[in-house]
């Protein structure tokens, strides 16, 4: 089997690393580099373990405008990006590019949509993909040739999510994850879901009906509170589904690119991340030291 493409949810990893590591870790000019360090360590570890043919670092809008138009509360309660993290967002591209990783961004949609798009393009070309993220919305991408590497709390390793793992966790297959999110809600995105329908109820509805739309078309046999939610919130739930479903972006498959540890070390050194630079240079001659 050919090597997979690794697509990375850069905002997700940087956020997780910012909160997992102390901002007392500083680089050039006294800028915190904790998020850059944690994210880089996590990506390099996955590259060492899985030997992808290429790595694409995905970035995008904080909230796609069409999603906000569908529901004004989407991402509305998220706090502003901390100043020390924003500075690292701004410098992440130059660090990641040093390793020979492809940088991809969409201003209209979100990083999640890019990961989804690269996975589709890779599978259509006969390949496979690994999607590195801390966002459970990405479970909808799990497929026979696509594994979601879900970042555990902090930056403490990854849980591989294939279709069987998604079904074991939620009781429904990956293709129904957007329908599940619409019904259950998603506090991290500000989606309230259906009133009175929790995780178990959402999964049960979808197993019996096969989709949100089918459940909306047949509310009569449900418990009164469930039937009421399906009738009264039908339009809202369709909006939540449209928000939860990832969109496809036109992308070009990146060319094969080996990990450039010397280039990564130089980029890290330029940011004052000298200990990381030394470790990368040492590993250039002995990758087992990563």
Superfamily for 5-163+247-285? 5'-nuclease (3.40.50.1010)
pLDDT band at residue 288, thresholds of 50, 70 and 90?
A: low
> Please, which residues bridge with residue 217 across strands?
none
Res 284: pLDDT: 83
State percent of the chain over pLDDT 70.
97
Residue 202 C-alpha from the chain's centroid: 23
Q: How many CA atoms lie within 13 A of 202 on its CB side?
A: 25
Domain 170-244 CATH class label: mainly alpha
Predicted TM-score (pTM) above 0.85: yes
Ranges for all domains in the chain classified under CATH 3.40.50.1010: 5-163+247-285
Instruction: Kindly tell me if the per-residue pLDDT of 154 is higher than 60.
Output: no
Q: Contact at 8 Å (CB) between 118 and 58?
A: yes
Residue 131 C-alpha from the chain's centroid: 7
Ranges for all domains in the chain classified under CATH 1.10.150.20: 170-244
Res 155: pLDDT: 55
């Amino acid at each position: 089997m050919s090597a997979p493409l690794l697509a990375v949810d850069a905002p997700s990893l940087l956020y997780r690393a910012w909160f997992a590591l102390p901002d007392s870790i500083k680089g050039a000019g006294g800028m915190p580099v904790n998020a850059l360090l944690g994210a880089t360590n996590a990506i390099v570890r996955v590259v060492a373990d899985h030997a992808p043919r290429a790595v694409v670092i995905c970035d995008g809008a904080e909230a796609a405008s069409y999603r906000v138009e569908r529901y004004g509360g989407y991402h509305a309660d998220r706090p502003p990006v901390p100043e020390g993290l924003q500075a690292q967002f701004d410098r992440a591209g130059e660090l990641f590019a040093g390793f020979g990783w492809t940088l991809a961004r969409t201003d209209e949609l979100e990083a999640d949509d890019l990961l989804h798009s690269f996975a589709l393009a890779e599978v259509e070309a006969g390949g496979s993909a690994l999607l590195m993220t801390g966002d459970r919305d990405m479970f909808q991408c799990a497929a026979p040739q696509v594994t979601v590497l879900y970042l555990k709390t902090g930056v403490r390793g990854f849980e591989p999510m294939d279709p069987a793992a998604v079904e074991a966790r939620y009781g429904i297959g990956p293709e129904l994850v957007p329908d599940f999110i619409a019904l259950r809600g998603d506090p991290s995105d500000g989606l309230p879901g259906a009133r009175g329908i929790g995780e178990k109820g959402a999964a049960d509805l979808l197993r019996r009906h096969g989709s949100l739309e089918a459940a909306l078309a047949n509310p009569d046999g449900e418990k009164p509170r469930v039937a009421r939610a399906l009738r009264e919130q039908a339009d809202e739930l369709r909006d939540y589904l449209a928000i939860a479903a990832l969109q496809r972006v036109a992308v070009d498959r990146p060319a094969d690119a080996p990990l450039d540890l010397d280039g990564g070390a130089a980029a890290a050194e330029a940011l004052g991340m000298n200990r990381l630079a030394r470790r990368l240079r040492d590993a250039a001659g002995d990758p087992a030291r990563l």
